Amino acid sequence: MRSNDSTWLLLQSGPGAPALNMALDEALLESVSRLGRPVLRFYGWTEPAATFGYFQKFSGVERATLLRPLIRRPTGGGIVPHDADWTYSLAFPPGHEWHSLKAEESYHRVHKWIQSAFTKLNVTTELALRSQKSAIRNPQSAVGCFVGYEKFDVLWHGKKIAGAAQRRNKLGLLIQGSVQSRCIGISIAPPDWQKAMCNVGRVEFGVAWLDFAPDAALRERAEFLAKQKYSQPGHNHKR
């Protein structure tokens, strides 16, 4: 599972506004070929929010959660509550090993990575062997924890605590993931989880981490997308 290119960029963004968080992830996908290396980004939220998959219908999302604002992601998947989670993204340039994986393979790989990080923190988790849909239809259901799970999601005591969505195109591969920290019955500090993730990357993928800060072009692109796309009803309500 080692990458041919062992140096990856590590971006620790800290808390961000919901629209800007999604905009920066899309800007990373657009820029990762120019950057020439994979990027792992850790980030948080300045306010509670929910993101939802690019292909989901807004009317259904609006009924399913009380969290606001609602932001359409650049990736697929379902509703993700962002009121107490740990959020990350991964961007890979075209031609990179991860970019060539099938969607199920990259999904499995990133969740094995998260599972290994939890093992380092003495938390036992498992990967779901199959999907399980929930019959819950309460508007509160998308607040705080995931509802149901998909194959290869990360489970703790049978409950989904980590999921991800992805987008793969000619620009590269973007994976967006969330760990619902309040659903784990053990207190773990976010920096400890991030450190564990980086340690697993170093040991299992042979990654050498290089601290990274967005350059002016990347910041300007993210700010443009946040203002003109992710904060606009025309984008978020489009389906």
Q: Which of 84, 90, 57 is nearest to 72 (CA)?
A: 57
**How far apart are the C-alpha atoms of 19 and 239, rounded to whole Å?**
18
- Cβ atoms of 172 and 77 within 8 Å: the answer is no
Q: Which helix (H) or strand (E) holds 100?
A: helix 97-100
Residue 168 exposed, middle or buried by CB count within 10 Å (0-12, 13-18, 19+): buried
The values of phi and psi at residue 57, to 5°, are -85, 130
| Catalytically annotated residue among 145, 183, 188, 198 | 145
Active site residue 198: no
> Which secondary-structure segment (H or E) carries 175?
strand 172-179
Element of type H or E holding 3: none
172: region left, alpha or beta (phi > 0 left; psi from -120 to 50 alpha): left
d(CA 148, CA 64): 14
Do the beta carbons of residue 15 and residue 226 sit within 8 Å? Answer: no
Cite the active site residues.
145
